[in-house]
Structure 1
Amino acid sequence: MRLRDLGITLGSGTPGVYNAITDVPGVRVGHHTLSLETAGASIHTGVTVIEPRAGSAHLEPCFAGVHVLNGNGDATGLEWIREAGLLASPIAYTNTHSVGVVRDALVAAEREMAKQHTYWCMPVVLETYDGVLSDIWGQHVTAEHVTAALSEACSGPVAEGNVGGGTGMICHEFKGGIGTSSRVLSQEQGGWTVGALVQANYGVREELRVAGYPVGRVLADVASPFKGASNVGAPGMGSIVITIATDAPLLPHQCTRLAQRASVGLARVGGGTEDSSGDIFLAFSVGNRNLPVANHGHPGAPTTALQMVNNDYISALFLAAADAVEEPILNAMLAADDLSGCGSQVLALKPARLLAALEQVGWRP
């Protein structure tokens, strides 16, 4: 189930064919999910990868930018993006304690693919905390799981909810996880596509909003994993990581501006105000090709011809990014299933209950 299946639309933009980040040409997504109860541990975690272009990202980098709304989280590879404006690796989502193993596995995969052409690799890995539902201290994600996610990467529809890195995540005290959406601009606006993929693991129940309506205030009857429990933390703990992709030819500083607009989409749903949340956003553009590759000892031409979106046209991209971030957070919750682990149970946001809550606060289809 997705938000639009309920007749709820956000903003005035038009989604792409898949209403997913994979509507941006060349972008691929893969998941590997670990979800099992063993005699010694609850394991509900995994890896999600985003390939900006098929093949070696190091040999076909993209312009990119980063924005951190709240830094109570961790990531690898962002400093080089800030410095050079280049994304030269896949992007991976996982849990907090698996950032290192996922990063190392991406380095090994890049080395295997690029062989002698690779001088270095600094992969981008983003995390959110799944320790309420999963044995996070067991560090169950392995290099083989990263390889599996990469092998599953493809265009087309993207699985959402309890999948990949989002398997054990919680959002607004409901089951959260992976969500995605896209918007296609009109030809007058440039005709470009903007897509987003989120790993949603943040939020207080009463702050939840859908299409602007404060539904969280009337959903107190749905049990929260944090109420009455002393060993799982507090409501609002967690994080959200967001990747925005576009085929609009943006320069690095424009990608940073696009990444900042993820904050708008997050705020519409009721997030972005918790000290305990790591809210880290990345945006990249596939609109320029043949960007210079680090090729030490064999430099290429001294200049590169580029295109850029004029600022008179960039506001439409900002709006599309905000819409494309707002919707996948809700898609992640609606696609998720109830999940129990580590002695806790987290309930999914059921479509019928959401519609009833919307009607209680005045929404009409």
Structure 2
Amino acid sequence: MMHQENSASNAAASGFDSGPTHIASPTHTRARDLGVAFDGTTGPYNAITDVPGVRVGYSTIISDAAQMHGAQAACTGVTAILPRGDDVESPCAAGTFALNGNGEMTGRTWIEESGSLTTPVAITNTHSVGIVHSAIDQWLFKRCPRKAAAWMLPVVAETWDGYLNAINSQHVTPQHVLDALDSAASGPIAEGNVGGGTGMCCYGFKGGSGTASRTVTLLDKTYTVGVFLQCNFGKRYELNVHGVLLGRDSKAPNPMQETRWFEEESVVPNPPEGSGSVIAVVATDAPLLPVQCKALARRMPMGLARTGTTGGHFSGDIFLAFSTGNPGSLRSSMAAEEEGRALDSMEFVAWGLMDALYEAVAQCVEESVVNTLVAARDIVGRDGHASYALPHDEVRRAFGR
């Protein structure tokens, strides 16, 4: 039986529910609402969109449970992150880091080579990366044809939703990608069963999309750090919510681990518990060098570890960090000659002050994971596969609310 408080309220009445979704609903519950007192000072929305200019959009694709069999089983979607909003011409300083490489994030080699992020970022399911990549090319071509005439290397990342979603049925279409990009907005954003996170599971509970932010004051200047996660990782017994081991004693069913579904379908033993992936994106308006962005990306595992995970061979844990500071810098080699200058320049946070940003990243990642679990709702996916959310009453009891 589904937990009443965590019912799958965003499932369609019939057919498919697919389209853009970005505003948090009035009933959107977050970890702090249940008494979890995280460290640090949040931005106004406690979201990656607190970083000025950053926008997030979703396309969520869910078919009615009664029809979720074979090729009709859709429980997936697309998340789009626009680093500078409408400005798709100006690069951002950026860096990446992979804790474990059993996954994909396209465009990483160019980011590592140039130190710059030059396209929107999208997150989806494992088998839809190509479709999403191509659709971003189309979207950029319409908005900046001169840039598209050179080359485009979109950043598209993935996690696997094949337990709930018929992943080989290619439910994600170019139009879903365009909808996510066009609907991207600032302000509060939905979490849980939305966008690319729609069909994901985390720590043996329903997972999905989550976000958080922190403000950081460096001497006389205040900056924002925001994080967005697509959570599809972790073993049930590992889950640690701000110091409380909630996973071990949870009463929520865990059919993904308790049944032999994978073995029955593929004649291959079930993958180890906790198999999955996590994609994490950190944004900040603090002016940073590309190597400093990479240093932020390397701190994301610190926040994940606070929630209990030790990582695993079957997990793709890939992270991207970018800075919206220094607008106008890091133009491509083609644009440099056009602007009539041979040298570029950037300002950056003094290395001796970076620790505050590192701390903010770890805090944001930790809270984003728990926000994902709290916002997620029970759902029935393909062929009756069910995933159950972390019960809110268990969190309230643990934190005295």
The aligned runs of 1:219-258 (5 Å cut-off) are 219=250, 221-232=251-262, 233=270, 234-258=272-296
> Contact 1:56–1:114 (CA<8 Å) still a contact in 2?
no
Task: Could you tell me which runs of 5 or more consecutive residues in structure 1 were left unpaired when the two chains were aligned.
Answer: none
Aligned counterpart for 2:370 among listed residues 330, 338, 357 = 330
> Contact 1:56–1:113 (CA<8 Å) still a contact in 2?
no
* 1:136-156 deviations in Å (ceiling 9; x for gaps): 010110100000001110100
How big is the shift at 1:217?
1.8
Give the Cα–Cα distance (whole angstroms) in 1 for the partners of residues 129 and 87 of structure 2: 21
Aligned counterpart for 1:10 among listed residues 38, 42, 49 = 38
* 1:295-317 deviations in Å (ceiling 9; x for gaps): 63844311122111001110000
SS in 2 for 1:185: strand
Q: Which residue of 2 aligns with 1:294?
A: 332
Is 1:21 paired with 2:38?
Answer: no
Is 1:159 paired with 2:199?
Answer: no
How big is the shift at 1:213?
1.9
* 1:272-303 deviations in Å (ceiling 9; x for gaps): 42111110000000011102433638443111
> Contact 1:65–1:256 (CA<8 Å) still a contact in 2?
yes
Aligned counterpart for 2:61 among listed residues 23, 34, 57 = 34
Q: Which amino acid aligns with 1:123?
A: P
Give the Cα–Cα distance (whole angstroms) in 1 for the partners of residues 184 and 254 of structure 2: 34
Q: Which residue of 1 aligns with 2:175?
A: 144
Normalising by the residue count of structure 2, what TM-score does the alignment of the two structures yield? 0.86
Q: Which residue of 2 aligns with 1:61?
A: 91
Give the Cα–Cα distance (whole angstroms) in 2 for the partners of residues 222 and 336 of structure 1: 13
How big is the shift at 1:364?
5.3
SS in 2 for 1:254: helix
Alpha carbons of structure 1 residues 346 and 212: separation in structure 2 relative to 1, 3 Å:
same
Give the Cα–Cα distance (whole angstroms) in 2 for the partners of residues 122 and 56 of structure 1: 17
Segment of structure 1 superposing worse, 279-288 or 32-41 = 32-41
Give the Cα–Cα distance (whole angstroms) in 2 for the partners of residues 186 and 45 of structure 1: 38
Give the Cα–Cα distance (whole angstroms) in 2 for the partners of residues 133 and 269 of structure 1: 24
Aligned counterpart for 2:389 among listed residues 348, 358, 363 = 348
Q: Which amino acid aligns with 1:348?
A: A
Give the Cα–Cα distance (whole angstroms) in 2 for the partners of residues 164 and 141 of structure 1: 11
Q: Which amino acid aligns with 1:192?
A: Y
Aligned counterpart for 1:269 among listed residues 284, 307, 316 = 307
> Contact 2:191–2:211 (CA<8 Å) still a contact in 1?
yes
Is 1:339 paired with 2:343?
Answer: no
Q: Which residue of 1 aligns with 2:11?
A: none
> Contact 1:194–1:245 (CA<8 Å) still a contact in 2?
yes
Give the Cα–Cα distance (whole angstroms) in 2 for the partners of residues 354 and 170 of structure 1: 18
Q: Which residue of 2 aligns with 1:80?
A: 110
Alpha carbons of structure 1 residues 139 and 189: separation in structure 2 relative to 1, 3 Å:
farther
> How many residue pairs align between the two structures?
357
> Contact 1:56–1:89 (CA<8 Å) still a contact in 2?
no
Q: Which amino acid aligns with 2:211?
A: T
The aligned runs of 1:36-185 (5 Å cut-off) are 36-37=63-64, 38=67, 40=70, 41-57=72-88, 59-118=89-148, 119-185=150-216
* Identity among equivalent pairs (%): 45
* 1:11-62 deviations in Å (ceiling 9; x for gaps): 2x100000000000100000000001336422000000000002243x2000
Task: Could you tell me which runs of 5 or more consecutive residues in structure 2 were left unpaired when the two chains were aligned.
Answer: 1-28, 263-269
Segment of structure 1 superposing worse, 168-177 or 302-311 = 302-311
Q: Which amino acid aligns with 1:78?
A: R
Q: Which amino acid aligns with 1:341?
A: G
Aligned counterpart for 1:193 among listed residues 205, 224, 232 = 224
> Contact 2:60–2:198 (CA<8 Å) still a contact in 1?
yes
Alpha carbons of structure 1 residues 117 and 206: separation in structure 2 relative to 1, 3 Å:
closer
Normalising by the residue count of structure 1, what TM-score does the alignment of the two structures yield? 0.94
Q: Which residue of 1 aligns with 2:22?
A: none
Give the Cα–Cα distance (whole angstroms) in 1 for the partners of residues 350 and 169 of structure 2: 49
> Contact 1:95–1:129 (CA<8 Å) still a contact in 2?
yes
SS in 1 for 2:354: helix
Q: Which amino acid aligns with 1:151?
A: D
Give the Cα–Cα distance (whole angstroms) in 1 for the partners of residues 97 and 333 of structure 2: 28
